[in-house]
Amino acid sequence: MTKYTYIRPNTLEDIVEELAKIIEHKRYDKLNYLLSDIEWLQKDDFELFDKNEFYDLMFDKGLF
């Protein structure tokens, strides 16, 4: 069994991929419900942040 490495997701697509990896690695059946809800939001083009908001936050924190 391979060790799961967590990577902080930035988009819904990243979240879906990370949850799928966790479910596969740990066999958390309850996460399947969360994954299907997030995939539903993704199909409706729901975004957690405005596309430029990440850059605005990074500018505010002095990361650029």
pLDDT per position as a tens digit, 24-60: 767 666 677 777 777 777 776 666 656 666 667 667 7
pTM listed for this prediction: 0.37
The pLDDT of residue 14 is above 70: yes
Please give the pLDDT value at position 24: 74
> Residues 6 or more apart from 28 whose CB is under 8 A from it?
22
Q: Residue 13's pLDDT band (boundaries 50, 70, 90)?
A: confident
Radius of gyration, CA atoms only, the chain:
14
Q: Which structural domain range is residue 45 located in?
A: 12-60
Residue 16 belongs to a domain: yes
How many domains would you assign to the chain? 1
Residue 50 lies in a domain: yes
